[in-house]
Amino acid sequence: MVDICVCVGSSCHMRGSYQVIKTFTELIKAEGLEGEVALKASFCMGRCMSGISVSVGDEPIEHVGFVNAQEVFYTQVLPIVKRLSSGAQPDCLAE
């Protein structure tokens, strides 16, 4: 399970966290990823200056907005999710 965190602090909220969460929720459902990722909200992540703060696992993604949310999901979020879930499993789950 990989955590996707979206900041809902004051600054990110004003930039449109609500729309990003809504878009991500829809895309996770559309891609059938409910069993692989957990979408979470977080208060201030301390990166207010660079757009709506999102992190996947421990990896930050910057400059997310409600306009590019879908694009970011496919070009940045999804690759990290795939890498983390394939990289994290072998030790304990393979075979």
Partner 1 sequence: MRKQQLFIDAAYESLNHYGEELCGDKVEFIRGEGFFLAVLADGLGSGVKANILATLTSKIIATMLAQGAGIHEAVETIASTLPVCSERGIAYSTFTIVNISDDGRVYIAEFDNPSMVYCRGGRLEPIARSELDVSGKRVYVSKFYAEQDDMLILFSDGVVHAGVGRLLDLGWQYDNIVKYIRENLKPGIAPRELVRRLLSAVNTLYMDKPGDDSTVCAMLLRPKKIATVMVGPPMSREQDTSVVNKLMYSQGLRVVCGGTTSQIVSRVTGKELKVSIDYENPAVPPTASLSGVDLVTEGVLTIGKCIDILRGLNDTGPDHWDQIALNKQDGATQLTKILLESSTEVHFLVGRAINPAHQNPGMPVSLGLKLNLIKELSEELKKTGKSVSIEYY
Q: Give dist(CA 42, CA 39) in Å, integer.
A: 10
Q: Give dist(CA 47, CA 45) in Å, integer.
A: 6
Q: Using CB under 8 A, which of 26, 44, 59, 88 touches partner 1?
A: 44
Segment near partner 1 (CB under 8 A), from 26-34, 40-48, 58-66, 71-79?
Answer: 40-48
Distance of CA 16 to the CA centre of its chain: 14
Segment near partner 1 (CB under 8 A), from 17-25, 55-63, 68-76, 87-95?
Answer: 17-25
Q: Give dist(CA 76, CA 74) in Å, integer.
A: 6
Q: Is 18 in the site for partner 1 (CB under 8 A)?
A: yes
Q: Using CB under 8 A, which of 29, 41, 75, 88 touches partner 1?
A: 41
List C-alpha distances in Å: 74 to 11, 36, 47, 59, 81.
24, 15, 22, 15, 10
Q: Is 15 in the site for partner 1 (CB under 8 A)?
A: yes
Segment near partner 1 (CB under 8 A), from 26-34, 42-50, 55-63, 85-93?
Answer: 42-50
